[in-house]
Structure 1
């Protein structure tokens, strides 16, 4: 039985006689094919990134895209005179997407054949099928989260952020302070469940137990008053990073137990893990209970073990190891909280409809 193809993550457009009617260098003025603006916007709203691989003069073509009012929708434009397969490969590599999640659309059979020969995993479509793309299964993600709807803006913010980091002449700490970082912790709602499941599945280096929680299991925990399912999101002056962390917290008779802590690897350098653990330790102290955590060493999560140790966790000698998961207990000694980011968070296991600014305990 043939396995279904993965959902397309990035569609790479040709320009001449594909995105627009006519050939830019010959006709001078071109216009979008009727209905394509709506297709572009719809794919963008589904979280599908869109790029360009076109043989054209870059500045001329980009100016035309701006004039047509669609330039903002495209990331990684590869507008040059090289082989389109090289452009598509470069786009996939920069996005860190598997070639099987890339699609390419072009009016020229020869160009599609060139892609198919060099990059057989890339799916190719003729230009005349452009209006039908939104109705195809591979362009219809089963779930569209809030992060997915903002994926293009998040990517573009990341490009600007990284460019400024490269140009920054001061220390890393000074750069972090300049970002105006805000970490917001909220209880998972209906829309966040899919993102939480994705984080537990895909995050391996910063996943404390390596356990994956299904959609059904997460919904059961959300409904259980003994548990908190929390999602952390990060923003800065460039824009949103999206949902970057998840905490599954269990209320036990004498302690609060972190069943799972997972954060996205792309925000490790911002100190998010340390901030989450310091906030949790403060909340447990305010409630007068101990804070423990489950940890299972895997081949990839050494960074998470270091984060726990640095936060003051050590092995609980009296606890039972179950399925390779050991229990760590927090030493009461306080670690200095990160000072380069603000934290908005709820009060746990009690009434707190909206996150409020967290002030670290002394």
Structure 2
């Protein structure tokens, strides 16, 4: 979709998330209450099908459109599997099938696929207990498995969202097809998805901390005037800026390079960067807000706890750092600088 259409979509989605994803909804999800009306409204808006071609029942958007929406969702701590379903639907459409309605998630790990049956176990699958189907990628094949064909043990994340361990015991797939996105690439797409969500959440954390520092008065003046707080917020702002910049570059490179292979280095760098800074962003924001930031009643934890969880999803900073190091150790000393500056986003006009 063109830039004007995307901006209109994001503006509409921003208003919707502001109105419908308040503190009560997010807290209720932690209590096991599925927000059915919220999910229904999200589906009616077509958001989970944003990157699905129109001839397969989607909105006809691009990977970049989807990632921009997910950054916005991250800034609102949207407590439903919008990101996971959007990615699952994109992968299903790329494999030649038309995605069904309902929530879905991706289960990526050491799985096997033979004769239309999936075997293996994947831990920490996002929203595993509330989705209708799982999308798995084994080699260069994609399979869709209905929830009833797999066993799921609930293991809620630290953000209170319904994660789980999914076991496939020769589970019969609803659909199996050749996929232009192989298993390794699917993990990369999951990583850039999380990097964009983390960018949105980090940006919101900064805004919350800055606003609080302006409102909180101590010794007769706002704490934003104290040099110690200013130093904290300056460091927080630099961590957030780096997280956003790397995520945006990865999203652009991934979109422009193509669904099957584009932006691999940028994605690895972005997810490593976002995951590494997640703990500093959370620590500084809570420290700058003092006791208030640690209360359950305040919304700050909606974002910081998700940063902690997303830090590990689809590869931690250690995972992606090792990937980068191994690749360039193998390629030789001349490859690193060329790869780092390959994106035209590294050369601003």
For the aligned pair, the TM-score class normalised by the smaller chain equals: under 0.3
- Over alpha carbons, which structure has the higher Rg? 1
TM-score (normalised: structure 2)? 0.23
**More strand by percentage:** 1
More helix by share: 2
